[in-house]
Structure 1
């Protein structure tokens, strides 16, 4: 079983208007395709998280032929969610991608991240299915393989590299509010829950945090 990290740079002139907006608008810091569902052979429902001007995104989506509806969770929040119904037969790029991904042997891991003109994602599956998807990529999408490796791996799932004790320390810290602002607990209180010395609890947390942070940093392409 393989895991690949992929970066896609769509041709903005040939992309749906709302996709071009997410990738190119200075009013959007970052967006995520959180999930999607092909409700019938022709229509797909997409859930996006937008960090930025979601009203502008709504307008771009409304003006895009093939977008049947747009619903927003909020307009003035720092992060808002948008639910779109898209006709795949009217938005060719989406239809081709949906067909390519709707095959046995692979899974696209959510979310897909839209940032700085590129879409970043992870796919898990057998080698044949993965290669078939790459071969069927539309001409309007420049696909780059950033990494190919086995699955599971620490980079595909950073939590898989944590020891049981490190994971327990993180869970306890979260439950007690250690990562709240301001912090709601101390190393001593975490240690009491874990049944160990405060220095040991601190060491578990530091090692777990280092593994997670390094995995995240390494997974982001240079220049973001």
Structure 2
């Protein structure tokens, strides 16, 4: 069983309008397909997060071929959820994702990330099935394999890699408001709750934060 991290680039002449909106809009820094219900029928439901202007996203998406409806959540810290009902067969790229997701022996893992004109995803499956999926890419679609490896199991969850003391320090810091804006607690406050010296509390937090950030930024090959 192989684990691939891939980046997909679509030629301008072949890029569906909705893909351009997801990956290349000047009003959107990044979109992520975080969940979906892809069926063999005419309609699929997809849940995106939109880092950017949600009103522009909804307006443009609603006017795009194959999109039936767009429903937005409230915006928190610049990010909005968008529930999209679409007809994937009307766009070859999304039809290909639909086929890959339904292929026996193949899993397209969440999320799929759109930014800087590309789409990045992680795929797990048998070597032969993965190769068939790559060979079936539509015209104008270039699939670059960024990484081939084995599943890391629990290492996929950065919290699992923390020591008990680091996890406790982060939990205390969250409860006290250390990560709030503006900050409501200091290293000294965390140290009091942990019954340790302030430099020790700071060390626990810094090591925990470094592990979490590296794991998250490495997800799609971003240099941490």
Q: Same fold (TM over 0.5)?
A: yes
Residue 73 (1) aligns with residue 40 (2): no
- Is structure 2 residue 114 aligned with structure 1 residue 114? yes
Unaligned residue ranges in structure 2 (runs of 5+):
none
Partner of 1:29: 29
Partner of 1:138: 138
Q: Is the 8 A contact 1:97 1:137 kept in 2?
A: no
RMSD: 2.9
Count of residues in Structure 1 that have an aligned counterpart in Structure 2: 223
**Correspondence for 2:191:** 191
Instruction: String of CA shifts for 1:76-135, please: whole Å, max 9, x gaps.
Output: x94333221111222232122111122344433322221110112223444444334323
Match of 1:170 in 2: 170
> Using the alignment, how far apart are the partners of 2:158 and 2:131 within structure 1?
25
Structure-2 change in CA distance of 1:206 and 1:41 (3 Å) = same
- Contact 2:24–2:116 (CA<8 Å) still a contact in 1? yes
Note the residue ranges of structure 1 that are not aligned, 5 or more in a row: none
Question: C-alpha displacement at 1:154, in angstroms?
Answer: 8.2
- The answer to whether the Cα contact below 8 Å between 1:101 and 1:133 also exists between their aligned partners in 2 is no
User: For 1:45-103, what per-residue CA distance to the aligned partner results, in whole angstroms no more than 9, with x for missing partners?
Assistant: 1122222233332333223222222223359x943332211112222321221111223
- Tell me if 1:180 matches 2:180: yes
Partner of 2:11: 11
- Partners of 1:106 and 1:124 within 8 A in 2: yes
Indicate the larger mover: 86-95 or 189-198.
Answer: 189-198
Match of 1:102 in 2: 102
Deviates more, 1:174-183 or 1:87-96: 87-96
132 and 156 in structure 1: CA distance in 2 versus 1, 3 angstrom threshold: farther
Structure 2 partner of 1:61: 61
Cα distance change, pair 162–98 in 1 and its aligned pair in 2 (3 A): same
2:121 and 2:220 in contact (8 A); partners too: no
